[in-house]
Amino acid sequence: MLVVVSPGQGAQSPGMLAPWLELPVVAETIGRASATTGLDLVAHGTTSDADTIRDTAVAQPLLVASALASLRAVLETDADTPFADVLPGRADALAGHSVGELAAAAAAGVLSQEDALRLVAVRGAAMARAAAVTPTGMAAVLGGDPEEVLASLAQHGLVPANVNGGGQVVAAGTLEAVAALVATLPTRARVIPLQVAGAFHTEHMAPAVEELRSAAASVTVHDPVLPLLSNADGALVASGTDALSRLVAQVAHPVRWDLCQSTLVEHGVTGLLELAPGGVLTGLARRTLPGVETVALKSPADLDAARDLVRRHAGTQLDTAADA
């Protein structure tokens, strides 16, 4: 059983699209994404510096466009073919971390590629505006006793915005609270401040939820052609309407990637393919999904390995009946 996953914010790096743009289907997909989002994603993926692509309004569209373009490269399809027409039989489930859920929803046929890109442009810009209201931030807490870590976060008024599994929790809140956490580390834990613009997936993002909900009201959705996992609780989502509602609400609620991985274990996942820019989610999978074979798409040099993974693991679609 093969799951295809899309990475979230923080996975981007300067120049990450340069080798990919040598592939015609990637170049065309990114070009169209630039037109749809109103951003020069070619420049942001090749020549923009780290500070520029750290901007939430830039990072989120860049990540979704990169994931979808790399999936087209794996499938060897053109930029016009709907993913829903070609992905069944070549993947068994889909998931995305945070903003990666929009790429997963497009791959599952819940949204068109164009609507996913329109929504991610709204999402990124709205979250950037919400982050500018109050100085907030995030920090990764690695290791430590889980209960002690959560107690420490609560003590400092922080929220576990991302619970990623493998002993990794991302705390979010005011910059003062993040600094206090760094100064008083939980036992046997490391705390790494993250270079992000604000406290994503917390109540600080409530204004962005309303902007995204308004934009989503005009979008046509379809039920997913493949099981789609939700960051909210790891559930398999069978309804397009439910999937879109969860995508909107998720902006101000924690990402429970640990529960998504638990669902995959329960259903017997054997292979995991991470779309570009890959690496983060396969790293988590190696710690939390023992025995699962992984491939991360970091450059076109990984395409042969990705297609081989698809050939050997796809073909056992998850049953969503109990989770719908």
The residue length of the chain stands at: 324
Q: Note whether 172 and 158 are within 8 A (CB).
A: yes
What does the pLDDT read at residue 8? 95
Tell me if residue 222 is catalytic. no
From the list 44, 97, 156, 201, the catalytic residue is 201
Query: 323: buried, middle or exposed (CB in 10 Å: 19+, 13-18, 0-12)?
Result: middle
Domains (ranges, CATH) in the chain?
A: 2-131+203-313 (3.40.366.10), 133-193 (3.30.70.250)
Q: Please enumerate in sequence order all residues whose Cβ is within 8 A of that of 122, keeping only pairs 6 or more positions apart, or say none.
A: 211, 212, 215
Query: Could you tell me if 157 and 174 are in contact, meaning their C-beta atoms sit under 8 angstroms apart?
Result: yes
Question: pLDDT tens digits for 116-129?
Answer: 999 999 999 999 99
Average pLDDT over residues 138-163: 95
> Catalytic: 299?
no
Four-point Cα dihedral 53, 54, 60, 65, nearest 10: 30
Catalytic residue, candidates 48, 66, 70, 98? 98
Question: Quick one: what percent of the chain has pLDDT higher than 70?
Answer: 98
Q: How many CB atoms lie within 10 A of CB 133?
A: 11
pLDDT of residue 197: 83
State the chain's mean pLDDT as an integer.
95
